[in-house]
Amino acid sequence: MLHGEDRPPGLQADHLRFATEDTLADALPGSEVLLVWDFTSDAVRDAWPAADSLRWVHTASAGVDRLVFPGLLDSPVTLTNSRGVFDAPMAEYVLGLVLAMAKDLPGTLAAQGRREWRHRETEPVAGRCAVVVGGGPIGKAIARLLEAVGMQVELIGRREFPALPDALPRADWLVLAAPLTDTTRGMFDAAALARLRPSARVINVGRGALVVEPDLVDALREGRIAGAALDVFAREPLPVDSPLWELPGVIVSPHMSGDLVGWRDALVEVFTDNLIRYRAGEPLRNVVDKSLGYVTGGTS
């Protein structure tokens, strides 16, 4: 198991070889199963030549972009993810961001800190249009919650990508929840952002590289869009000198939209269930189509 500063709760050490980025290459020989607990690391790619017996790699994340490299892609190794753990938490987080920005909660808190009584009007949420990019379980969960508060939602999955340019001018809110693939990397560049209306806001809970970050900074700085709530970034942690920290109308959070209390236990449950299936020779759940970079079926 590849881990960082923390280890998964409840897994017995006698069934696992614990490894960090520095020791993974030494732990891989002879291992059939690899649990990638530290899903922000590129250590698997670097240590791949030592994987002489691997049959299955499981990542404690929904996104698999760190694991889609030629060695794994060209191998018969099965890749699974933790699909299902983050759907509801991320949908709640996006709804919270929409409400916070529409009702100017950042402004209220800032005024409170200054002990300033400043009355103002806020924006409606019901009736506004949200274009949600990402047709998987997370995107669908986000769409359901936004529709529940009266928003008009256009859900753009892979098949609808050709229609995205026409949808962008209708968006009051552009919500990014797509996986990072060769198709989606950098798809929101200056040209795409220019199709948004000046009152539109961008929420990104997918992957930072979906957006060309300098283009987003320029659009925000020049007032070509009204704001952004960003939970993911091209480089994480977000560098302290990034202009995103201080641009008006921007909310920065540290890649936490899916992390409810108990999320680590839920991730362990997904892996443990699949481990039982693996040992019994049963089909695994959440098998990733490595050519696409995401799960395409239901449970297998």
Stretch (H or E) spanning 204: strand 201-204
Same domain, 20 and 97: no
The pLDDT > 90 percentage for the chain reads 92
- Establish if 133 belongs to a structural domain: yes
Same domain, 102 and 244: yes
Q: Is the dihedral of CA 149, 249, 180, 173 positive or negative?
A: positive
18 burial class (0-12, 13-18, 19+ CB within 10 angstroms)?
A: middle
Same domain, 94 and 188: yes
Q: With 80 as the cut, is the pLDDT of residue 15 above it?
A: no
User: Quick one: pLDDT at residue 14?
Assistant: 62
| Alpha carbon of residue 11 to chain centroid | 25
Q: With 80 as the cut, is the pLDDT of residue 277 above it?
A: yes
User: What are 37-94's pLDDT values in tens digits?
Assistant: 999 999 999 999 999 999 999 999 999 999 999 999 999 999 999 999 999 999 999 9
- Establish if 5 belongs to a structural domain: no
Three-class DSSP category at 89 = helix
Same domain, 136 and 153: yes
User: What are 113-143's pLDDT values in tens digits?
Assistant: 999 999 999 999 999 999 999 999 999 999 9
Same domain, 66 and 95: no
Predicted TM-score of the model (pTM): 0.95
Tokens of 262: 């108990």
User: Quick one: pLDDT at residue 159?
Assistant: 95
- Establish if 240 belongs to a structural domain: yes
Residue 5: band (very low, low, confident or very high) from pLDDT cuts 50, 70, 90: confident
Q: With 50 as the cut, is the pLDDT of residue 18 above it?
A: yes
Same domain, 276 and 180: no
Same domain, 200 and 149: yes
- Establish if 6 belongs to a structural domain: no
The pLDDT > 70 percentage for the chain reads 98
Residue 298: band (very low, low, confident or very high) from pLDDT cuts 50, 70, 90: low
User: What are 205-242's pLDDT values in tens digits?
Assistant: 999 999 999 999 999 999 999 999 999 999 999 999 99
> Average pLDDT for residues 18-29, to the nearest whole number?
95
Same domain, 101 and 30: no
Same domain, 28 and 50: yes
Give catalytic residues, as residue numbers.
207, 236, 255
- Establish if 247 belongs to a structural domain: yes
Tokens of 52: 């002489």
- Establish if 193 belongs to a structural domain: yes
Residue 299: band (very low, low, confident or very high) from pLDDT cuts 50, 70, 90: very low
The set of residues, in sequence order, having a beta carbon less than 8 Å from that of 207 and lying 6+ positions away, is 63, 65, 178, 179, 180, 184, 232
Residue 158: band (very low, low, confident or very high) from pLDDT cuts 50, 70, 90: very high
Reduced to 3 DSSP states, what percent helix, strand and coil does the chain have, rounded to the nearest 5? 35, 15, 50
Q: Domain range holding 68?
A: 13-85+261-295
Same domain, 94 and 243: yes
Same domain, 35 and 167: no
Tokens of 218: 């320029």
Higher pLDDT, 4 or 95: 95
User: Quick one: pLDDT at residue 73?
Assistant: 97
- Establish if 4 belongs to a structural domain: no
Same domain, 103 and 230: yes
- CATH of residue 29's domain is 3.40.50.720
Q: Per the structure, how many domains does the chain have?
A: 2
Q: With 50 as the cut, is the pLDDT of residue 29 above it?
A: yes
- Establish if 269 belongs to a structural domain: yes
Q: With 60 as the cut, is the pLDDT of residue 105 above it?
A: yes
Paired sense of beta strands 250-252 and 288-289, if any: unpaired
